[in-house]
């Protein structure tokens, strides 16, 4: 057995060096961060491995938008699955709105009057909706024909002018899945067109063929789950009847004991066939806004 190497802090320590020391410590939260950086690096280096990233939670209001774009621009991602909320926040910033620093004790009635929507201690301007509505309304004719959700989102990405998650996925042709897109500001702004008599044809089930095809055709799959929710579960089920993941990382603060998918440890996936029995994997129990910058900073230095 390896000994727990006590973590030392020198002056001007780089993040990568600290994460390597976390890995040498080997245990508890720090050890998991170290192990996650190692596994992420491994799956990127493994040329036979397709990488699926699931991203849920308030990642854009939480300050992770640039990191997500950076990862997407790095030509390592084969599938990106996220929530409608993340794409809505991303679109908001692409349209010129910033999220704001608030506090979780703020008076929500007052915020409501002033047009701010609170996400714990970050704030979104309610005006984002108007800007997204205008974008969708002005470009509604591009959503012609029978579309998958991925096709719908790529088309939407094609009319976004600024650097963003959605535009990067479109330009890099990264399959962008969002099974819960109706449950989002983007969904609501499509709805506002529908109630004015317009129609659109976006199919619920058709994306499944593409994501499962990607999972099926390769020798190895690797997963990085930033949060749980639909993004994680949608990737998990695409692996279930194709090939389980050989590399796995999940970052969550949800508990295991209530049995929900978001808090389920990756190991559970072995019973389902979503994770290979001999996979390298780690569950990082940590706020993603702390864990992801550490992991990505370390991996970026190593690449």
Residues 171-230 that bind a second copy (CB under 8 A): 179-185, 187-188, 190-191, 194-195, 200-209, 212, 227, 229-230
Among 13, 75, 138, 162, binds a second copy (CB under 8 A): 13
Among 73, 102, 137, 155, binds a second copy (CB under 8 A): 102
Alpha-carbon gap, residue 115 to 5, rounded angstroms: 51
Alpha-carbon gap, residue 55 to 264, rounded angstroms: 16
Q: What mask, x for binding a second copy by CB under 8 A, covers residues 60 to 99?
A: -xxxxxxx--x--------------x-------x----xx
Among 20, 139, 256, 280, binds a second copy (CB under 8 A): 256
Quick one: which segment of 44-52, 164-172, 217-225, 279-287 binds a second copy (CB under 8 A)? 279-287
CB 299 within 8 A of CB 20: no
Query: If binding means CB under 8 A, how many residues of this protein chain bind a second copy?
Result: 125
Q: Provide, rounded to whole angstroms, the least separation between the CB of residue 50 and a second copy.
A: 19
| Residue 280 to residues 3, 240, 266, 295, Cα–Cα distance (Å) | 20, 17, 10, 16
Q: Provide, rounded to whole angstroms, the least separation between the CB of residue 177 and a second copy.
A: 9
Please identify which of the residues 11, 134, 274, 300 carries the catalytic annotation. Answer: 274
Q: Which two tokens stand for residue 40?
A: 């992420």
- Whether 232 sits among the annotated catalytic residues: the reply is no
Q: Provide, rounded to whole angstroms, the least separation between the CB of residue 131 and a second copy.
A: 16
Nearer to a second copy, 110 or 173 (CB): 110
Q: Does 267 bind a second copy (CB under 8 A)?
A: yes
How many other CB atoms are there within 10 angstroms of residue 228's CB atom? 22
Alpha-carbon gap, residue 139 to 160, rounded angstroms: 10
| Residue 191 to residues 150, 198, 199, 254, Cα–Cα distance (Å) | 18, 9, 9, 32
| Residue 192 to residues 53, 130, 136, Cα–Cα distance (Å) | 31, 11, 10
Q: Provide, rounded to whole angstroms, the least separation between the CB of residue 158 and a second copy.
A: 19
Angle subtended by helix axes 15-25 and 288-302, to nearest 10: 100
- Cα 168 to chain centroid, rounded: 14
Q: Does 273 bind a second copy (CB under 8 A)?
A: yes
Closest of 177, 186, 194 to residue 95, by C-alpha: 186
Using CB under 8 A as the binding rule, the residues of this chain from 282 to 301 that contact a second copy are 285-291, 293-294, 296-297, 300-301
Among 123, 165, 215, 224, binds a second copy (CB under 8 A): 123
Q: Does 20 bind a second copy (CB under 8 A)?
A: no
Q: Provide, rounded to whole angstroms, the least separation between the CB of residue 28 and a second copy.
A: 4
Q: Does 132 bind a second copy (CB under 8 A)?
A: no
Q: Which residues partner with 225 through β-bridges?
A: 54, 250
CB 235 within 8 A of CB 54: yes
User: What is the set of active-site residues?
Assistant: 274
């Amino acid at each position: 057995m390896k000994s727990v190497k006590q973590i030392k802090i020198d002056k001007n320590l780089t993040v990568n060096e600290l994460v390597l020391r976390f890995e040498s410590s080997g245990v508890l939260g720090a050890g998991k961060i170290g192990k996650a950086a190692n596994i992420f690096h491994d799956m990127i280096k493994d040329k036979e491995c397709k990488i699926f990233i699931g991203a849920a939670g308030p990642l854009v209001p939480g300050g992770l938008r640039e990191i997500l774009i950076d990862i997407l621009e790095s030509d390592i991602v084969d599938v990106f699955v996220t929530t409608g909320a993340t794409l809505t926040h991303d679109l908001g910033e692409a349209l010129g709105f910033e999220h704001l620093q608030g506090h979780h004790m703020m008076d929500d009635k007052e915020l409501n009057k002033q047009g701010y929507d609170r996400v714990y201690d970050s704030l979104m301007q309610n005006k984002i909706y108007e800007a997204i509505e205008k974008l969708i309304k002005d470009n509604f004719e591009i959503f012609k024909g029978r579309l998958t959700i991925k096709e719908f989102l790529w088309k939407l990405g094609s009319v976004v002018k600024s650097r963003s998650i959605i535009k990067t996925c479109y330009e890099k042709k990264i399959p962008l899945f969002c099974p819960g897109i109706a449950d989002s500001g983007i969904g609501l702004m499509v709805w506002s067109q529908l109630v004015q008599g317009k129609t659109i044809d976006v199919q619920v089930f058709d994306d499944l063929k593409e994501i499962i095809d990607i999972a099926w055709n390769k020798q190895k799959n690797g997963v990085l789950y930033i949060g749980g929710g639909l993004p994680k579960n949608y990737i998990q089920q695409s692996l279930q009847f194709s090939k389980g993941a050989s590399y796995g990382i999940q970052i969550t603060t949800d508990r295991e004991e209530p049995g929900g998918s978001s808090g389920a440890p990756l190991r559970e996936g072995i019973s389902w066939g979503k994770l290979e029995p001999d996979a390298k994997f780690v569950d990082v129990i940590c706020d993603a806004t702390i864990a992801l910058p550490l992991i990505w900073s370390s991996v970026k230095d190593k690449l």
